[in-house]
Amino acid sequence: MSDLLLPEQGARPWLPAGNVSPIETLNEYDIPLAGLIEQGGTNYLFACLLGEMEDANIWAYARVDAPEIAYLRSLVDDQLSAAIDEVLTNRMLIVAMAGDYELDDWMRIDAGIEGPVGLAGRFLDLMEQRIEERRREVQALERQKELTSR
């Protein structure tokens, strides 16, 4: 199994695939905002990075080990929030965008120390680059279509 979560299109961000099992919700407000899940025998932390109360939001998923899980479970409020931020630094993550609480798109990101808002911003920049690259590819295909139809 991959070290990184394998999400599915249309899944809820707090249960990002049909083969994901919930372990524990660490923070919630109407919906789970941070918690622990399991996929294929591997445990992950999920956390909403941005847009908790919006129609569109950004989520991160990080593999966690038993000591990290125990540490997260021992904390509340600001300490928990700081620990979640710490778990989301200096490691490979899956960062995803959701609309109406359904996953739309995601990518692997090697997180640094930028924190949740910085990470969300970098994700949006990378998504914008991906979209622009696809637009250029579509334009190139349209030009080929025009050449072959002459």
Backbone angles phi, psi at 92, to 5 degrees: -80, 130
Predicted confidence at residue 149, as pLDDT, reads: 72
Sequence-distant (≥ 6) Cβ neighbours of residue 135 within 8 angstroms: none
Kindly report the average pLDDT of the chain as a whole number: 94
- Residues 97-127 have pLDDT tens digits of 999 999 999 999 999 999 999 999 999 999 9
Q: Which amino acid is at 20?
A: V
- What confidence tier does 1 reach under pLDDT thresholds 50, 70, 90? very low
Please tell me the pTM assigned to this model.
0.90
Burial of 13 (0-12, 13-18, 19+ CB in 10 A): buried
- Residues 20-63 have pLDDT tens digits of 999 999 999 999 999 999 999 999 999 999 999 999 999 999 99
Predicted confidence at residue 150, as pLDDT, reads: 66
Predicted confidence at residue 124, as pLDDT, reads: 96
